[in-house]
Amino acid sequence: EDQVTQSPEALRLQEGESSSLNCSYTVSGLRGLFWYRQDPGKGPEFLFTLYSAGEEKEKERLKATLTKKESFLHITAPKPEDSATYLCAVLGGGGSNYKLTFGKGTLLTVNP
Amino acid sequence: SAVISQKPSRDICQRGTSLTIQCQVDSQVTMMFWYRQQPGQSLTLIATANQGSEATYESGFVIDKFPISRPNLTFSTLTVSNMSPEDSSIYLCSVEAGGGYEQYFGPGTRLTVT
C-alpha cells in the first residue's frame, strides 16, 4: 500500500525566511508525485507534478525536487500570502489506476 | 486545467437523513473522483466515477452508503445516506485534466451532521 508522510506538521516562518517542507513516500512504481496548496475553506490547488528522481519544478518562490524516497518543497523568501497547508500526494503503478494517496499536509504560517 | 463547482458549499443535516452533493465541470472529462477530508486526516478517495459505468469504490466505502451518479461528461453527484455524526467532513470532487495524471479539485462541501 502506498504511503506518504509529510513533515513538519506545522511550520512558522518570518517573512523572507527560507525553508523546506518534506514529503517521504513509499510506492509501488511511482507514476507521479504531486504538490498542492490548500487555503482554509477551499479545495486543493495544483502546484507541481514530478515524475522521476532528479526532476525539479519551480513556480515563483516555490521549488519542488524529487529523489527516490522523498520530495522537498523549498520556499524562498516567503511572503505572508504563502501561508497555507501544503499537501503532497503520490500516484503508484499498482492497484487503482487513478488513486492519489495524500499526506496529512504541512501548515505553513508566514508572519510579516 | 478545469474549473469545478460544487453545491451546496456547506450544510447542516440531521442524523438519519441523506444529502446529495453536486459537482459540475466546465469541460468534458472522463474521470471524476470523490474524496473525503476529515479534520487532521489525509484526503481519502471514496470512489472513481466514469461516465456510462458504475462507480468504483475504495476499501471501506460502499455504494449503499455513498451512491454516485455520473449522467454525462461534465456532471456527477455523491449522496451521503443515512447520515451519522461520523459523516461530518468535507467532501471534494476532482477531475483528471492536463494530461499528466494531475487532478483538479472543486471547492468542497462542508457537511455537519447533528
The grid coordinates of residue B8 equal: 451546496
| Domain hosting residue B43, numbered range | 4-108
Q: How far apart are the first and last CA of chain A?
A: 41
Please judge whether A91 and B107 are an interchain contact, meaning their C-beta atoms are less than 8 angstroms apart. Answer: no
Q: Could you give the CA distance from residue A15 to residue A78 in angstroms, rounded to a whole number? A: 5
* A102 closest CB neighbour out of B31, B42, B101: B42
Tell which residue, A93, A100, A102, has the closest CA to residue A28.
A93
Tell which residue, B7, B36, B11, has the closest CA to residue B23.
B7
* Shortest CA distance from B107: residue in chain A: A43
* Shortest CA distance from A9: residue in chain B: B40
Q: Could you give the CA distance from residue B103 to residue A84 in angstroms, rounded to a whole number? A: 19
Mean pLDDT over the full length of chain B: 94
Q: How far apart are the first and last CA of chain B?
A: 36
* Interface test mutation site (partner A, options B57, B94, B103, B109, max chain A beta carbons within 10 A): B103
Q: What is the CATH number of the domain that holds B89?
A: 2.60.40.10
Which range has the worst mean pLDDT, A85-89, B52-56, B57-61? Answer: B52-56
Name the A residues in 51-90 with CB < 8 Å from any B CB: 51, 87, 89
Contacts of B110 in chain A (CB under 8 A): 41
Q: Taking 80 as the threshold, does the pLDDT of residue A94 lie above it?
A: no
* A43 closest CB neighbour out of B1, B48, B105: B105
pLDDT tens, residue by residue, A6-24? 999 999 999 999 999 999 9
CB B89 within 8 A of CB B37: yes
Q: Could you give the CA distance from residue A87 to residue B42 in angstroms, rounded to a whole number? A: 9
Locus of grid cell 473522483? B33
* Shortest CA distance from A30: residue in chain B: B101
The grid coordinates of residue A8 equal: 513538519
3-state secondary structure of A81: helix
Count structural domains, chain B: 1
Q: Taking 90 as the threshold, does the pLDDT of residue B8 lie above it?
A: yes
Mean pLDDT of A56-64: 97
Count other Cβ atoms within 10 Å, centred on residue B53: 9
Which range has the worst mean pLDDT, A38-52, A63-77, A91-105, B100-114? Answer: A91-105
pLDDT of residue B68: 96
Domains belonging to chain A, first-starting first, are: 3-111 (2.60.40.10)
Tell me, yes or no, whether B114 lies in a domain.
no
Tell which residue, B114, B95, B111, has the closest CA to residue B36.
B111
